Amino acid sequence: MAEVVRGLPRYAVYGAPMELLIQSLERTPTPLTLRELLAHGGKPGKAPTPDVLRRSAVYVQRELPIRLARRVRQFYSLPFIVGSNPWVQSVARLYASSFAQLATAPPIETPEGHARFTRVLQGLVNDHAENVPKLSRGFMECKEYMDTNQVTKFLNAALHSRIGIRIIAEQHLALAAMAEQNSSNDTQTEYRLTPTSIGIIETQMRPMNVVLSSCDYVRALCEATFEIAPKVEFDGDIEATMVGVPVHLEYVMTELLKNAFRATTENYLSKRKEGIATSEIPSVRVTFGSSRDHVSIRIRDCGGGIPPQNMNQIFSYAFTTANEQKAAETNDEPADVASQGMQSGMGTLAGLGYGLPMARLYVNYFGGSDLDIVSLWGHGCDAFVRLSRQMGSSDVPI
Q: What is the gyration radius of the CA atoms in the chain, in angstroms?
A: 22
Q: For residue 303, give the CATH number of its domain.
A: 3.30.565.10
Q: Label residue 148 by pLDDT band (50, 70, 90).
A: confident
* Range from 137-151, 179-193, 262-276, 360-374 carrying the lowest mean pLDDT: 179-193
CA torsion angle for 35, 40, 41, 44 (degrees, to 10)?
60
| Distance separating the N- and C-terminal Cα atoms of the chain | 28
CA torsion angle for 173, 178, 183, 186 (degrees, to 10)?
100
How many percent of the chain have pLDDT more than 90?
62
The pLDDT tens digits for 197-239 are 999 999 999 999 999 999 999 999 999 999 999 999 999 999 9
Is the pLDDT at 174 greater than 90? The verdict is: yes
Q: For residue 177, give the CATH number of its domain.
A: 1.20.140.20
397 domain-assigned: no
Q: 225 and 194, same structural domain?
A: no
Is the pLDDT at 368 greater than 60? The verdict is: yes
Beta bridge partners of 287: 235, 298
Q: Which of 200, 220, 253 is the last residue of a domain?
A: 200
What is the torsional sign of CA 79, 84, 85, 90?
positive
173 vs 316, higher pLDDT: 173
Q: Which of 185, 200, 215 is the last residue of a domain?
A: 200
Q: Label residue 180 by pLDDT band (50, 70, 90).
A: confident
User: In this structure, which amino acid lies at residue 20?
Assistant: L
Average the pLDDT over 146-160 and give the result.
90
* Range from 202-211, 279-288, 337-346, 387-396 carrying the lowest mean pLDDT: 337-346
Find the angle CA(343)-CA(378)-CA(208) to the nearest 5 degrees: 50
Q: Label residue 330 by pLDDT band (50, 70, 90).
A: very low
- Predicted confidence at residue 341, as pLDDT, reads 42
Q: 235 and 159, same structural domain?
A: no
Task: Look up the domain containing 154 and give its range.
Answer: 4-200
262 domain-assigned: yes
- Predicted confidence at residue 320, as pLDDT, reads 52
252 vs 180, higher pLDDT: 252
Q: Which of 200, 217, 240 is the last residue of a domain?
A: 200
Distance in angstroms (rounded) separating the CA atoms of residues 390 and 369: 9
Q: 210 and 196, same structural domain?
A: no
Q: 8 and 151, same structural domain?
A: yes
The pLDDT tens digits for 31-89 are 899 988 888 888 898 889 999 999 999 999 999 999 999 999 999 999 999 999 999 99
Distance in angstroms (rounded) separating the CA atoms of residues 71 and 160: 11
Is the pLDDT at 9 greater than 60? The verdict is: no
- Predicted confidence at residue 194, as pLDDT, reads 85
Q: Per DSSP, which regions of the chain are E strands?
A: 4-5, 8-9, 197-198, 201-205, 232-236, 242-244, 284-290, 294-300, 370-376, 380-388
- Predicted confidence at residue 325, as pLDDT, reads 38
Average the pLDDT over 135-156 and give the result.
90
Distance in angstroms (rounded) separating the CA atoms of residues 21 and 70: 9
Q: 143 and 38, same structural domain?
A: yes
Please tell me the total count of domains within the chain.
2
Q: 184 and 245, same structural domain?
A: no
398 domain-assigned: no
Distance in angstroms (rounded) separating the CA atoms of residues 225 and 221: 6
Is the pLDDT at 393 greater than 80? The verdict is: no
Distance in angstroms (rounded) separating the CA atoms of residues 137 and 182: 42
Q: 195 and 250, same structural domain?
A: no
